[in-house]
Amino acid sequence: MTTFREYRDALAAGGSVERDLPALPTDAIRFQGERAGLVSRAVAAFIDVLIIFAVVLGTIAVFWMLSFIINPANPADIGSIEAASTQQRRIPEVITMIVYGYVLNVLYWTVFWAISGRTIGNLIMGLRVVDRKGRSPGWIVSFLRAVFCTGFPIGLVWSAVSHKNKSVQDVVLRTSVIYDWVVGIPWLRSDLEPLADAETRSTTT
């Protein structure tokens, strides 16, 4: 695998570099493009939920710190009923944070599925959500799927008994989750191609 330093030095010397991408592991090749099972999908969803949970906790921490900037604690009131009431108001209500977490999760899944078909959890587990034509679902389908998955997560269990490994959400919205490992950084390679051509021309003229 050529490093960026080797690639840059070779261009400076007037040469060319073959920028190849690493191959898939042998065990993964036979699964590439197949529909994913329950375990892989559940792990990916669990990773995504952990990310959202971390963001929610981070939001609570930010609110708590900002509350002391906006309304600093009075040392004379420490231990009083008023101080206890103020301390409770520094942290959002539990129901508020639950609703916030659900909305954030819907937005997260919608954006990532619509743009690339992959969330961070999907990327780690080598999965991709596709529509019935094998493409990334559009914004409407991604939104409906995100709402469905967030509000009815138990629907994923159907993929364990479905002969097509489809969840209830997949059956209703005509989507699938397939194994599709991303190898290397294709967008970086495509971005470097024009630079490579330009520098090669400049060194040969």
| Token duo for residue 140 | 């409407």
Outline where 4-138 has alpha helix (H).
4-12, 26-29, 38-70, 81-89, 94-115, 120-125
Question: Which of 196, 32, 48, 29 lies closest to 118, judged by CA?
Answer: 48
The model's pTM is 0.69
Task: Round to whole Å and give the CA distance between 139 and 146.
Answer: 10
In tens, the pLDDT along 9-24 reads 554 565 544 444 455 6
pLDDT digits (tens, 9 = 90+) for 91-107: 778 898 899 999 999 99
